[in-house]
Structure 1
Amino acid sequence: MEVLARETWEARAAAHAERVDALVGPHLERRDARVKHPVHDFLFTYYSHRPAQLRRWHPGAGVVLAGGAAAYGGLRGYAVDDDDAAVDPAHLESQRPLVEALHRLLAATAARPAHLGCFGLHEWAMVYRLDDDETRHADWPLRLGGAGTDAVVESHRIACSHFDAHRFFTDPARPLNTLSPTAADRPAFEQPACLHAGMDLYKHAFRLSPLVSSDLVLDAFELAWDIRVLDMRAAPYDLTDVVLDHSGETWTPVPIETAAGKQEYAEAQRRFAERGAPIRQALVDAGERLLAAPAAR
């Protein structure tokens, strides 16, 4: 067991909280003002990890926080010994089925070649043949209108490998997908260049908390944040004048219905796959260490 002195882990926890605050501050201000954001709200509504949970730093299993009993003793997954705190081996044992399932999915995804030909058409299939007021972001119009959007869907080969994207396809769009991913066979379909598989690295990481370091969770969150921007830039919505957090830049579309737009999307997708690879591998490695740990007595 590695032991962190109190001044060491308190400094790391404070630095982590500061990093999180810079990311989530604009969202919290909008939430208090009841203002929607079509791009960034997704990370706080679709994913169940609350900003306060993201802000809490965890060292991961196998690390003792000297003098940490008061700060961590009451948290799920921790045990205390005198004035110290650490992740409880019994908690790891209770989470073993989850660790096994995520390790199987992530290892399979990492071993699969990246596919760069989907062009973000999942978002288009989610609005196929819907009226404007039926779309998920009804406050923003479709950039090409309903008929133009439907024509893009009908003139492209749709090959969405991600179940949680595919399940939101409209009924007329679902049979157009060349793949049929389900919740039960994710390891057989997910591939490392899929934007949603990249964003889901954040979900997998926080589901393993506090067994893995919060530094890894936050790396995955930052990746998901940036991927989400591309996801919506390539979506069919007209989000003109929407300001992206932190950069202050306004949204610009990636017109995937054009050759230039496809090239831009595929290149960005390739960069995100490369950026996500070490995060995915870190989660795979963490899973192997956790599964190799002795069972709790």
Structure 2
Amino acid sequence: MTFPLRTAPPAPLPGPQVLTEAEWTARRDHHHATVDELLAGHVARRAAGRSHPVHDFLFTYYSLRPNQLRRWHPGYGTVLLGASAVRDYRDHPGYERVAVDGVAGVRVAREVLDRRADTVDFVARLLAATASRAPQLGCFGLHEWAMVYRAGADGVRHAAVPLRLGHTGTDAVVESMQLRCTHYDAFRFFTPAAAPRNAEALTRDEQIRTEQPGCLHAGMDLYKWCYKMLPLTDSALTVRCLRHAAAARELDMRASPYDLEDYGYSPIRIETAAGRAQYVREQSALTRRAAALRQELVNRCTALQAHRTTAPENTGG
């Protein structure tokens, strides 16, 4: 199935918010329905022992398990009132029981914010640095090609899917253009023959310096950075980042060396001038969408950092 991008109002920044039982259960139920729809294809394929070269990446490469994605989190600073909240979150790590005007409820505990401070600070630094740079739109999705360059039949990452141009043709495309990958977690999968062809040898330690907002994978990873901060971040933002990651993954694979027409994907032939122009147009659109999500995540991090400088609230119960 496809993962359509849908517009939605941004979730509130972390701050004091109290939701009645009717309010938060409606949001939870909506989240469950949304995630069940998104996961349906993956769950069915997994049960049947089948795989999908495009969409399964979102649930195999990324470490958030389906049941974890389905769990609804309101985000730090929000109190959920009512007996259902106390029951549903009683044994969930990271939540504490509170009371508002004598009504019992739960919220994410302050100790979670303190314990996850390093994660929040790293994500804030990385995303702010990425956002500060001009997008680079000249990579043409060649990272997928570099992952099979001179690898032979045994080195193809998606062995069940043929290469559009064969091994020789794929190698020739890599040799015809400069590799300009800026994303370490793509670069680290380059073949030994491809890595020296990149404009720069990337390292994990230099990730904050080299990440840039035009990179499809930097946009996809917004999903990872969002769920890495759960339950401090909210599930609505996590799902929006997942939808964006799915759209970026589709462009990524349409521009790849693989023939995915049997899966319903027409190729973007980046070996041609017309194909490269098409890739840049679609990359630019996703870059703009990623920029909005990235800024929202930076805002979340900034607010969480500000909360750490204040005294814990004394809501009792």
Identify whether the pair has TM-score above 0.5, normalized to the shorter chain: yes
Aligned counterpart, 1:134 = 155
Matched, 1:72 2:89: yes
RMSD: 1.1
CA distance in 1, matches of 2:95, 2:119: 18
| Equivalent pairs, count | 290
Matched, 1:16 2:31: yes
Unaligned runs of 5+ in 2: 1-15, 313-317
Q: CA deviation at 1:130?
A: 1.0
Aligned counterpart, 1:176 = 197
Q: Could you list the runs of 4 or more consecutive aligned residues of structure 1 that deviate by over 4 angstroms after TM superposition?
A: none
Q: What amino acid does structure 2 have at the position aligned with 1:75?
A: H
Q: Do the aligned partners of 2:114 and 2:308 also contact (CA within 8 Å) in 1?
A: no
Unaligned runs of 5+ in 1: 243-249
Q: CA deviation at 1:79?
A: 1.1
Q: CA deviation at 1:41?
A: 0.6
CA distance in 2, matches of 1:77, 1:128: 45
Identity %: 49
Q: Which moved more, 1:214-223 or 1:77-86?
A: 77-86
**Among candidates 270, 273, 277, match of residue 291 of structure 2:** 277
Q: Deviations over 1:83-118 (max 9, x none)?
A: 311010001100000000010000000111111110
Q: Deviations over 1:155-206 (max 9, x none)?
A: 1011100000000000010000002221111111111110100100000000
Q: Deviations over 1:143-165 (max 9, x none)?
A: 10111100000110111000000
TM-score (norm 1): 0.95
Q: What amino acid does structure 1 have at the position aligned with 2:32?
A: A
Q: Do the aligned partners of 1:69 and 1:85 also contact (CA within 8 Å) in 2?
A: yes
**Among candidates 30, 54, 58, match of residue 39 of structure 1:** 54
- Mapping of residues 1-297 of structure 1, within 5 Å: 1-67=16-82, 68-81=85-98, 83-242=104-263, 250-294=264-308
CA distance in 2, matches of 1:203, 1:251: 25
Q: Do the aligned partners of 1:161 and 1:180 also contact (CA within 8 Å) in 2?
A: no
TM-score (norm 2): 0.89
Q: Deviations over 1:203-262 (max 9, x none)?
A: 0000011101111000000000111011100010112211xxxxxxx1110000001110
Q: Do the aligned partners of 1:132 and 1:141 also contact (CA within 8 Å) in 2?
A: no
CA distance in 2, matches of 1:294, 1:35: 46
